[in-house]
């Protein structure tokens, strides 16, 4: 079951299953190794897994965030139909 959790400038998508599940990872991800997890991860019923987190910014905010982090905004492509943008940032 997928749920969308909204706040004014943020969305998160989580999965929740009513049954217990075990997932076997064929390749270990670096973060799993660091967390000390093995190749099998068990989830109890109704445990949620966050699969995506999105934050919404106004176009002018991206430039300021980039500058604060030591980048400059080289180019920005904004989708006319969806409130979505791709941003090319370059180290200053």
Interval 65-85: pLDDT, tens: 999 999 999 999 999 888 788
Domain range for residue 86? Answer: 58-92
**Domain total of the chain:** 2
* Per-residue pLDDT reduced to its tens digit, 38-48: 566 778 888 88
Q: How far is CA 27 from CA 19, 30, 33, 38, 50, in A?
A: 24, 9, 10, 10, 20
Shared domain for 64 and 52, answered yes or no, is no
- Whether 52 shows a pLDDT value over 60: the answer reads yes
Shared domain for 46 and 69, answered yes or no, is no
Shared domain for 11 and 44, answered yes or no, is yes
- Whether 33 shows a pLDDT value over 80: the answer reads no
Shared domain for 5 and 44, answered yes or no, is yes
What distance in Å separates the CA atoms of residue 52 and residue 41, rounded to the nearest whole number? 19
| 1 pLDDT tier (thresholds 50, 70, 90) | very low
Shared domain for 11 and 38, answered yes or no, is yes
pTM of the predicted model as reported, rounded to 2 decimal places: 0.47
Shared domain for 5 and 46, answered yes or no, is yes
């Amino acid at each position: 079951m997928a749920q969308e959790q909204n706040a004014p400038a943020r969305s998160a998508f989580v999965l929740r299953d009513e049954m217990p599940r075990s997932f076997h990872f064929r390749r270990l991800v670096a973060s799993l190794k660091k967390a000390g997890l093995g190749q099998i991860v068990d989830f109890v019923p109704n445990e949620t897994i966050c699969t995506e987190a999105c934050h919404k910014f106004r176009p002018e905010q991206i430039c300021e965030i980039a500058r604060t982090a030591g980048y400059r905004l080289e180019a920005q492509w904004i989708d006319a139909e969806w409130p979505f943008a791709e941003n090319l940032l370059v180290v200053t």
